[in-house]
Amino acid sequence: MNSFYKTQIESLSLHPFRETPSPEMYLNLFERLEHEARREEARRRAHARAWELARQQGVNPIQDIKELQGDFWPEDESVDEFLAWVRAIRQDKTGAEQ
């Protein structure tokens, strides 16, 4: 049972109805629960497909955050030079649109 169901059940037990719930209220609750169950199942299938695709492609979880570090900028250039380059590109795009 996922957290949505638990929350709904706990909510009903903590806040009892002042009146007897109507059949429509129960129907509405069950429809929402069914909708949530379908969403949860779709989510599980999507995760399973993603894991299977990663397995087929030989992709493994990263072991170190440095694996994500890019190597696209020369080490001998400073951050200021990088920022100047970004600003120049942005200005060129802005100028081209006018």
Q: Is 2 left (phi over 0), alpha (psi -120 to 50) or beta?
A: beta
Give the range of the structural domain holding residue 9, as residue numbers without chain letter: 3-97
Task: Quote the mean pLDDT of the chain.
Answer: 83
**3-state SS, residue 91:** helix
Could you tell me the pLDDT band of residue 66, with boundaries at 50, 70 and 90? confident
CA distance 8 to 49: 29
Whether 41 shows a pLDDT value over 90: the answer reads yes
State the sign of the Cα–Cα–Cα–Cα dihedral 32, 38, 42, 47: positive
With a threshold of 0.75, does the pTM exceed it? Answer: no
Mean pLDDT of 33-58: 95
Q: How many domains does the chain have?
A: 1
CA distance 19 to 28: 16
Give Cα separations from 38 to 5, 24, 50, 54 (angstroms): 13, 21, 18, 24
